[in-house]
Amino acid sequence: MIQRPWYRRKSSPTNCREVGRVLQHYLDNAMGPEWAARVAEHLEACKDCGMEEETYQEIKLALGRQRPAVHDDAVSRLREFGRSLTDG
């Protein structure tokens, strides 16, 4: 039996294991509204999953704050280097 990707399944997550599998997609706003509502409902009802969500959110925010600024000239040099590889 071929397993469909999480976003093509007809049922929504209803238990901790299923929510755990899609939690990162939920945090990235990368799922449909029905799924997001079911995950949010589970996170509200389940203390363990809710704490896990809070931890992931804190990690994500901390990583976002540490992202170094990329200078425009670095991006253009990288693009030029990529072009030189394809032209050669």
d(CA 58, CA 54): 6
Q: What is the span of the domain harbouring residue 68? A: 6-87
Q: Is residue 17 part of a domain?
A: yes
Q: What is the pLDDT of residues 34-81, one digit of tens each?
A: 989 999 999 888 888 888 899 988 888 888 787 677 788 888 888 888
Please indicate, yes or no, whether the overall pTM of this predicted structure exceeds 0.95.
no
Q: Is residue 59 part of a domain?
A: yes
Structure token digits, residue 46: 């389940």
Domain count for the chain, please give it.
1
Q: Is residue 15 part of a domain?
A: yes
Q: Is residue 1 part of a domain?
A: no
Residues 6+ apart with CB under 8 A from 60: 27
